[in-house]
């Protein structure tokens, strides 16, 4: 476990080194993104970086950034120079499953505006096919959730609403999360289109064609991955 934490940190530090003074950055969410935020805070405090502005993908990341004196602003239509975030699964095309930390909607809203979206992870997140290990988190509105879940099941989804310590998990946006499994042969693009068409679905954790680079830490070092390479 301690070894995986060290790997996450190595990937995060590598990506945080890409951030330059005076740029607009997006801060991801989760245990790996947390290391990147800590490293950015360290670089700012050390005077290696100045004049950066950040947009956070969750309240937790915003709170951490503020505690490190990283200036945080709301998301505006202005592009972000770089966004650094973790992932739950990464396929060879750098398509991702994200959202096991519950932040998928804000993450997608921020990452779609990134000039560069750097994914950071340890090697256990690499898969040959999305859905191999992780469920797909789907954010759904609370009102009428049983009806929305029924519509998801009609599309072939198996799974359950996420619960933490017995209670339904509520996102920063006040919604629930459904953790879904789909048949192995589902095409990712058509699955995404179908899910986005389901009444009651706010957003899915499929991040297709969005990542520009991935830094994946292995016991042999940090690998820099590009789509299809």
Ligand X SMILES: O=C[C@H](O)[C@H](O)[C@H](O)COP(=O)(O)O
Annotated binding-site members for substrate:
29-32, 85-88, 98-101, 125
Helix axes 2-16, 31-45, angle to 10 degrees: 50
107 is catalytic: yes
By beta-carbon proximity to ligand X, the closer residue of 57 and 148 is 57
Helix (H) or strand (E) holding 139: strand 136-140
By beta-carbon proximity to ligand X, the closer residue of 28 and 41 is 28
For 5-23, give one letter per residue: b (16+ CB within 10 A) or e.
eebbbbbbbbbbeebeeeb
How many Å apart are CA 228 and CA 84, to the nearest integer? 20
- The catalytic residue among 62, 89, 107, 111 is 107
Dihedral Cα 40, 210, 119, 178, nearest 10 deg: 100
Our finding on whether 31 is near ligand X (CB under 6 A) is yes
Q: Which of 101, 131, 135, 200 binds ligand X (CB under 6 A)?
A: 101
Q: Which of residues 40-99 bind ligand X (CB under 6 A)?
A: 85-88, 98-99
Which residues are known binding-site members?
29-32, 85-88, 98-101, 125
Our finding on whether 104 is near ligand X (CB under 6 A) is yes
Q: What angle do CA 110, 205, 168 make, to 5 degrees?
A: 105
Nearest approach, Cβ of 124 to ligand X (angstroms)?
9
By beta-carbon proximity to ligand X, the closer residue of 10 and 29 is 29
Our finding on whether 139 is near ligand X (CB under 6 A) is no
How many C-beta atoms lie closer than 10 Å to residue 115's C-beta? 12
Per CB under 6 A, residues contacting ligand X are: 28-33, 85-88, 98-104, 107
């Amino acid at each position: 476990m301690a070894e995986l934490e060290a790997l996450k940190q190595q990937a995060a530090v590598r990506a945080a080194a890409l951030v330059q003074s005076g740029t607009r950055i997006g801060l991801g969410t989760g245990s790996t993104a947390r290391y990147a935020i800590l490293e950015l805070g360290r670089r700012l405090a050390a005077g290696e970086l100045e004049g950066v502005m950040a947009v956070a993908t969750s309240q937790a990341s915003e709170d951490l950034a503020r505690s490190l004196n990283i200036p945080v602003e709301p998301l505006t239509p202005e592009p972000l120079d770089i966004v650094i975030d973790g992932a739950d699964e990464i396929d060879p095309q750098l398509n991702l499953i994200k959202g096991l930390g519950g932040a998928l909607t804000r993450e997608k809203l921020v990452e779609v505006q990134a000039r560069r979206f750097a994914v950071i992870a340890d090697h256990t997140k690499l898969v040959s096919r999305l859905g191999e290990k992780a469920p797909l988190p789907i954010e759904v509105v609370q009102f009428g959730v049983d009806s929305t879940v029924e519509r998801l099941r009609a599309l072939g989804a198996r799974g359950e609403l996420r619960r933490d310590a017995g209670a339904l998990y509520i996102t920063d946006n006040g919604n629930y999360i459904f953790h879904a499994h789909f048949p192995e042969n589902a095409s990712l693009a058509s699955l995404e289109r179908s899910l986005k068409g389901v009444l009651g679905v706010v957003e899915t954790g499929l991040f297709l064609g969005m990542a520009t680079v991935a830094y994946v830490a292995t016991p042999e070092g940090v690998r820099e991955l590009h789509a299809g390479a």
